[in-house]
């Protein structure tokens, strides 16, 4: 018999979903980011920059199975956002996820516990059609650090991850592999230069062309779950 955690892993594509913009005329438009159902009653959480400046109406797509990606669209409405911590929550009409993630306590977050993110950053738009290509990233929280100089309030107690975030992964969850609690919401990549020995310079025979190649180590940055809790409770941010 499968455990509840195993069943949750198999149903991730029904709980972590792609978000699409609405175009004029009420048609749902291009893919813009990833969303995660959290709380009770379930609300769709994502990064605020995913929906910023796009109005209040969006679409959530639900693939009928992890193999066949013929999408069903559901209307999603922006309920509340907090631009300072780069988080937003939406209500999805006509859909109930099989479960929603529970928010972790601050003292549950640790560097030596495996975490994963399920996201749609590898989705491609070809000939005006979005081809969903969800991916699972696994690793650990390398550091809980203060990045408020770069990300403002969203950078306070930010989670630095051992894996990168692709464009479109914004809004993806950081989930504990231990108990499937939500630790954070992915918002960005933080890049580091590798060792100076891994900087390559290329000069042609006349020494007239010079090229320097720097190898970067991208690491995803996630907003700590402590910033999401008041937004879900309706105690922070701006109501729409």
Whether 201 maps to a domain, the answer reads: no
For the ranges 153-157, 185-189, 210-214, the lowest mean pLDDT is seen at 210-214
Percent pLDDT > 90 in the chain is 53
Whether 197 maps to a domain, the answer reads: no
Contact 89, 41 (CB under 8 A): no
What is the rounded distance in angstroms from the CA atom of residue 184 to the CA atom of residue 173? 6
For the ranges 50-59, 80-89, 203-212, 230-239, the lowest mean pLDDT is seen at 203-212
Contact 180, 8 (CB under 8 A): yes
Q: Please give the structure tokens belonging to residue 143.
A: 């550091």
148 is in which domain, residue-wise? Answer: 4-192+217-239
Confidence of residue 90 (pLDDT cuts 50, 70, 90): very high
For the ranges 125-129, 143-147, 218-222, the lowest mean pLDDT is seen at 125-129
Strand partners, 31: 20
| Residue 206 φ then ψ, to 5° | -85, 0
Whether 202 maps to a domain, the answer reads: no
Per-residue pLDDT, 166: 80
The rounded Cα 172 to chain-centroid distance in angstroms is: 2
What is the rounded distance in angstroms from the CA atom of residue 13 to the CA atom of residue 42? 15
Whether 207 maps to a domain, the answer reads: no
Q: Which is nearest to 117 in space by CA: 143, 147, 139, 85?
A: 139
Whether 209 maps to a domain, the answer reads: no
Taking only the tens place, the pLDDT of each residue in 217-231 is 678 999 999 999 999
pLDDT above 50: residue 193: no
Per-residue pLDDT, 1: 39
pLDDT above 70: residue 212: no
Taking only the tens place, the pLDDT of each residue in 28-81 is 778 899 999 999 999 999 999 999 988 888 988 876 544 445 567 888 999 999
What is the rounded distance in angstroms from the CA atom of residue 234 to the CA atom of residue 240? 11
Question: How many domains, in total, are found in the chain?
Answer: 1
Q: What are the residues whose beta carbons fall under 8 Å from the beta carbon of 111, sequence distance 6 or more?
A: 140, 141, 142, 143, 144
Whether 159 maps to a domain, the answer reads: yes
What is the rounded distance in angstroms from the CA atom of residue 215 to the CA atom of residue 238? 40
What is the rounded distance in angstroms from the CA atom of residue 57 to the CA atom of residue 19? 11
Q: Please give the structure tokens belonging to residue 52.
A: 């910023």
Whether 23 maps to a domain, the answer reads: yes
Whether 15 maps to a domain, the answer reads: yes
What is the rounded distance in angstroms from the CA atom of residue 100 to the CA atom of residue 95? 12
| Residue 131 φ then ψ, to 5° | -105, 105
Q: Across all residues in the chain, what is the average pLDDT?
A: 83
Taking only the tens place, the pLDDT of each residue in 94-113 is 999 999 999 999 999 999 99
Mean pLDDT on 124-150: 87
Which CATH number is 180's domain given? 2.40.10.120
pLDDT above 50: residue 195: no
């Amino acid at each position: 018999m499968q455990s509840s955690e195993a069943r949750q892993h198999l149903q991730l594509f029904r709980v972590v979903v792609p978000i699409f913009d609405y175009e004029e005329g009420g048609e749902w438009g291009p893919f813009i980011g990833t969303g995660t159902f959290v709380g009770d009653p379930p609300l769709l959480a994502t990064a605020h920059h995913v929906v910023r400046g796009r109005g209040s109406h969006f679409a959530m797509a639900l693939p009928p199975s992890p193999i066949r990606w013929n999408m069903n669209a559901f209307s999603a409405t922006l309920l509340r956002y907090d631009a300072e911590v780069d988080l937003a929550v939406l209500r999805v009409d006509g859909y109930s996820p099989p479960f929603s993630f529970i928010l972790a306590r601050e003292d549950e977050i640790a560097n030596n516990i495996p975490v994963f993110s399920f996201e749609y950053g590898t989705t491609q738009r070809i000939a005006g059609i979005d081809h969903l290509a969800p991916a699972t990233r696994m690793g650990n929280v390398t550091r809980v650090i203060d990045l408020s100089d770069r990300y403002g309030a969203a950078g306070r107690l930010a989670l630095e991850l051992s894996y990168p975030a692709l464009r479109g992964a914004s809004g993806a969850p950081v989930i504990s592999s231990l108990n499937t609690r939500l630790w954070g919401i992915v918002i960005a990549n933080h890049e580091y230069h590798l060792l100076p020995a891994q900087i390559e310079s290329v000069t042609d025979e006349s020494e007239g062309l010079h090229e320097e190649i720097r190898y970067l180590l991208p690491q995803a940055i996630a907003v700590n779950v402590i910033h999401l809790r008041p937004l879900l409770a309706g105690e922070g941010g701006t109501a729409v």
